Structure 1
């Protein structure tokens, strides 16, 4: 009797001659060093199976962990990302190894996605793990268009390793706050129980980004050209730059990694007022204030107090380079972008409730029509319904007739379904936020509700 394959490579070789290999789901778990079928582990095993053109019958994720299953060749074309990740893995095995450089936006496109929602980032990370890959820096903590390298799992290094120019090794930041350079702590995520016993801990690839945290580095402002001047520049040059470029904060920098201070209008005013003999030809460093920096991987919410206190933060990105500046004005815009979908959704729900009230439904009718028969939820009135339950209610022909709306039912319900999809992304706090198309979709549906209320 042939020994059990101990890796997916051995498993693929055993199946290669047309043989059907009998294993258990637990055997597959051992191959990835896991004991329980958490979401991430299942995704990692699926990625390994796709990578080697294998499949299991029945599905390993849907049977008892100790039940015998068949592993056989999968004749179907693998998902698009499989070939690309295979190429990335092969490039790392070459001599010399050459990591594939892509952007998070490109990676998401391999999986048919545009934003980094919690579900898609989990799927991407599991697929990467199946190829023993990860991104450096983590694709979840940088801007969508910031290049990242596909490298071997566990081989990522600190960003400071980007100090490859000896002249930059003494990178200075007079006012850098310790909180902005806090060491990244290890993180774990608990996989759901497989059958019995305690859940196991699955080590994430990069601690601060194992969850779907909204990082300061994902903002557009964290990746833009930073207007700056040299320390020896004159106040005349600095002020001319601020006026010409219409900026209120001007970093004083020796090079992209070395920041010596920050010039703000109030710093200039203080210098001119409190120093007796001054000239616009004085070096700018005489009027500078300490520069405030944060790492690109800092959670956005944790950085807000610093932006409010200092009026800005400089963002130090991958390879230790200053990649952007986020000001109070930017903060206001970002908070508005985050809040506006919630406001629109709130108005939509209020409008839907007003329309449904025209049907004069009893609580029991709402329960019978709107609730999923398998749902244990209890509702007390129309306000207790979710958007999904609104859709279920409005899809019912009798309920639709009672509400008596002068619009085609299928058209209205289809639009509501789209709103639900946007709502799910908003409520799960996609780090890339709601895009313009999402806001337009919400606005159009809200305008439709207003029209129905006005002319109904």
Structure 2
């Protein structure tokens, strides 16, 4: 029988292990009271905004009375700013501390309660994540933010790709006042991101843009924590580790040598990390040398190049890639750090398509085998739903049918039935993961599992 403490523990686990903390959570926990006054002061321009916490845990702006569930949205509307981290903007007047501080107290309490009720190592995972992110927040506030690869970041949650845990990861980061720069969604698994606090002052953003030192993402509206974001970006293709380049005054021989040594079809021509003069390609080199045998890089520059940001939707760039064959990619600091070519895109789409083709082949082969080994009336009682023909069978049905001793006996395969069914179940789970789109390639081990099983089926597919 569930107890009140069990309910509290379950709710606590839900709070810190899957969604963003809201003001209503602080109200329910008794950490803030209805009617509490909030103040948001922009010291640089000397303007103060006032608000009140409602009994529903919403923020009511004064004096107009407009209400918001999200502290960030309330701050954005009050100040007319593009983006602001409302948790670090609103001061709880009677406590003389920021909403963020109250949120951290709630997280600490929740984690302590969860840790006390932990019955297994898995139950302790939220505490481990909390401690790691609290440490990262401290480093960020000290001006020494943690830098990790996306792969290392995911490992904090025990994840290997940006699949079904992405929303949970984003919620945990947000609850600790952290963002990644660049966004961990928009780059490759081996790209490095910085765990930092969001930039929200528009004056700072302008200064950063003018100086070319725009290293931090703007604060997000925490009301959008469930927003759909499944785009494949240019940064998911390019690792942003830098591009091979030459200067405008470099000898053409240098460009040719770099291209030959690295098997490149083009090089960037840069005057500084953010100033793209164009590109040198085999075509532009041939045209330059055709006109003058002593041509230099300056003579061979193709100025008709495209530069895109790392977070640009890849599908928007495809027409340009088709026409130009490559685009240069800038990082969050506007530095040219990557290149995406038509070959890169073809390779990535091949990686993405291969598991789907393998699953399709496996599905059709299993259906073909069963339709020739047994009749439909034999199969129908073994399925969890009513089917009218073999084309309606799914992977769960294959497990139940082939797990039946009578059906398995009709195949007359010299294979162990339980080992076969166990592998089929692993493939079913793999299929479920593959069908939920995310930007990371399916692992080589997973592809090998599918290929090996297809090979096995082809070897034994003829019924006895």
- How far does residue 145 in structure 1 lie from its aligned partner after superposition? 2.1
Q: Secondary structure at the match of 2:269?
A: strand
Query: How far apart are the structure 2 equivalents of 1:29 and 1:362?
Result: 58
Change in 2 beyond 3 A, CA 1:262/1:412: same
Please point out which of 144, 153, 156 is paired with 1:110: 156
| Structure 2 residue 188 is matched with structure 1 residue 143 | yes
1:10 is displaced (CA, Å) by 9.2
User: In structure 2, how many angstroms separate the alpha carbons of the residues matched to 1:160 and 1:408?
Assistant: 67
Deviation of 1:28 (Å): 10
Structure 1 406/314 Cα, relative in aligned 2: closer, same or farther at 3 Å?
Answer: same
Q: Calculate the TM-score normalised by the size of structure 1.
A: 0.70
Matched, 1:127 2:172: yes
**CA–CA separation in structure 2 for the residues paired with 1:28 and 1:49:** 20
Change in Cα spacing, 1:266 to 1:130, as seen in structure 2 (3 Å) is same
| Distance (whole Å) between structure 2 residues aligned to residue 270 and residue 321 of structure 1 | 29
Cα separation, partners in 2 of 1:279 and 1:9, compared to 1, 3 Å: farther
Preserved contact between residue 199 and residue 205 of structure 2 (Cα < 8 Å): no
Structure 1 unaligned residues grouped into runs of 5+: 15-26, 35-46, 57-70, 172-183, 189-200, 373-377
Match of 2:397 in 1: 389
Aligned to 1:54: 110
Residues 1:256 and 2:264 are matched in the alignment: no
What secondary structure, in the 3-state scheme, does the structure 1 residue paired with 2:461 have?
helix
Render the CA deviation track for 1:336-366: whole Å, top value 9, x for unaligned: 2222212211111111112222442426x54
Between the aligned partners of 1:392 and 1:9, the Cα distance in structure 2 is 50
**Corresponding position: 1:451 with 2:459:** yes
SS of residue paired to 1:52: helix
1:342 aligns with 2:356: yes
Please state whether the residue corresponding to 2:271 is helix, strand or coil: strand
| Contact preservation (8 Å) 2:321, 2:342 | yes
With over 3 angstroms needed to count, the CA separation of the structure-2 counterparts of 1:362 and 1:147, relative to structure 1, is: same
- 2:346 maps to which of 302, 327, 332: 332
Which residue matches 1:292?
Answer: 306
1:440 has 2:448 as partner: yes
Across the aligned residues of Structure 1 and Structure 2, the Cα RMSD in angstroms comes to 4.0
Map Cα deviations across residues 158-185 of structure 1 (whole Å, 9 max, x no partner): 9998768x5x68x9xxxxxxxxxxxx99
Q: What is the aligned residue count?
A: 372
Are the aligned partners of 1:111 and 1:124 in contact in 2 as well (CA < 8 Å)? yes
Q: Is the 8 A contact 1:359 1:403 kept in 2?
A: yes
Counterpart in the other structure of 1:68: none
Q: Spell out, residue by residue over 1:402-447, the C-alpha distance to the aligned partner (whole angstroms, 9 max, x if none).
A: 4443321221111112222332233222201212111111111111
Q: Distance in 1 between matches of 2:296 and 2:184?
A: 44
Alpha-carbon offset, residue 283 of structure 1: 4.1
Q: Give structure 2 stretches of 5+ with no counterpart.
A: 1-22, 33-54, 60-67, 71-102, 119-123
Question: 59, 72, 85: which is aligned to 2:133?
Answer: 85
| 1:141-163 superposed Cα distances (whole Å, 9 cap, x missing partner) | 01212222223357499999876
What is the deviation of 1:316? 1.3
Matched-pair contact (CA < 8 Å) for 1:250–1:263:
yes
Q: Comparing both chains, which one has the higher relative contact order based on Cα–Cα distances under 8 Å and sequence gaps of 6 or more?
A: 1
Question: Could you say which residue in structure 2 is the equivalent of 1:370?
Answer: 383
Which stretch of structure 1 is more off in the superposition, 392-401 or 442-451?
392-401
Residues in 1 aligned to 2:184 and 2:329: alpha-carbon distance in whole angstroms: 17
Note the alpha carbon deviations across 1:2-43, whole angstroms, 9 max, x for none. Answer: xxx9765994989xxxxxxxxxxxx99869947xxxxxxxxx
User: Residues 187 and 419 of structure 1: is their aligned pair in 2 closer, same or farther, counting only changes over 3 Å?
Assistant: farther
2:231 matches 1:213: yes
Deviation for aligned residue 1:53: 4.8
Distance 1:352 1:10, change over 3 A: closer
Aligned partner of 1:234 among 247, 251, 266? 251
CA distance in 2, matches of 1:324, 1:256: 11
Farther off after superposition, 433-442 or 382-391: 382-391
Q: 1:162 to 1:55 in 2, by over 3 A?
A: closer
For the residue of structure 1 that corresponds to 2:165, the secondary structure is: helix
Q: Secondary structure at the match of 1:54?
A: helix
Task: Give the Cα separation in 1 of the matches to 2:368 and 2:302.
Answer: 58
Residues of 2 paired with 1:280 and 1:388: CA distance?
69
| Cα distance between partner residues in 1 of 2:189 and 2:260 | 31
